[in-house]
Amino acid sequence: MALMWNRTVDWDADDWRRLAACRNTEPDLFFPVGTTGQAVEQIEAAKRVCRSCEAQEPCLDFALATNQESGVWGGTSEEERRKLRKAWLAARRRAS
């Protein structure tokens, strides 16, 4: 069964990427090593950038649709996204 999703963003145009608050931020901030200790602080710092971003929703949508397993995307950690993705995939299966 192929993964199918409804596109809510025109990713070809990459408009959301041009609007992204992280565009001028050090990329390493969004890809902490681990989930404990200093990485927790780094994840929170990345999420603060996301909270101020007008592209947060399409970024998260992209991350879920393309199964981005690493880093902070759309204001979510790897663990948070795993949970969201399960629900996201289940909703799409029910809709098909």
How does pLDDT run across 58-77, given as a tens digit for each residue? 999 899 889 999 999 999 99
Beta-carbon count within 10 A of 89 CB: 15
Tokens of 58: 């399409």
Could you give the angle at the alpha carbon of 81 between the alpha carbons of 86 and 9, nearest 5°? Answer: 90
Give the per-residue pLDDT at 12.
Answer: 57
User: Nearest 5 degrees, angle CA 72-CA 75-CA 81?
Assistant: 65
pLDDT, residue 96, reads 77
CB 34, CB 42: distance < 8 Å: no
Domain boundaries, the chain: 15-95
Average pLDDT over residues 76-85: 94
Q: Which residues contact 7 (CB under 8 A, 6 or more apart)?
A: 65
Model pLDDT, residue 15: 85
pTM, to two decimals: 0.80
Whether 13 shows a pLDDT value over 70: the answer reads: no
pLDDT for the residue numbered 8: 52
